[in-house]
Amino acid sequence: MAVALTRLRYEKRYPGSDPRNMFDLKHFTEAVGRATVGRLDKERNKPTVKIIRNEMRRFVSQWQRETGLTIPQHVHDSMAPVSNPSAAHVKC
């Protein structure tokens, strides 16, 4: 639900954005990170990398189902997980 609401707000603020564009997908990921509530990193009080990955996976899957389009492989790969997710955090 949070991702859907964030997506609507993002589309309203940035009309014509397209997650097939690397800049737009990364920008949307930041927006999701700022809007996500739930399990937070206790030290920084920010969402964990794992939470952001799950939210983005759900978003991309839903977007692909709704549009029938796919995210290009180079954009998908640019969103690949970091090597040590427990040490990395999303900068919000």
Which whole number is the average pLDDT over 44-70? 84
| The pLDDT of residue 2 | 58
Q: At what angle do helices 2-13 and 49-67 cross, to 10 degrees?
A: 70
Q: Where are the domains of the chain?
A: 2-78
| The pLDDT of residue 83 | 43
For residue 10, which of 56, 43, 48 has the smallest C-alpha distance?
Answer: 56
Please give the model's pTM, rounded to 2 decimal places: 0.65
| The pLDDT of residue 75 | 83
> In this structure, what token pair is assigned to residue 30?
């930041």
In which band, very low, low, confident or very high, does the pLDDT at 89 lie, cut at 50, 70 and 90?
A: very low
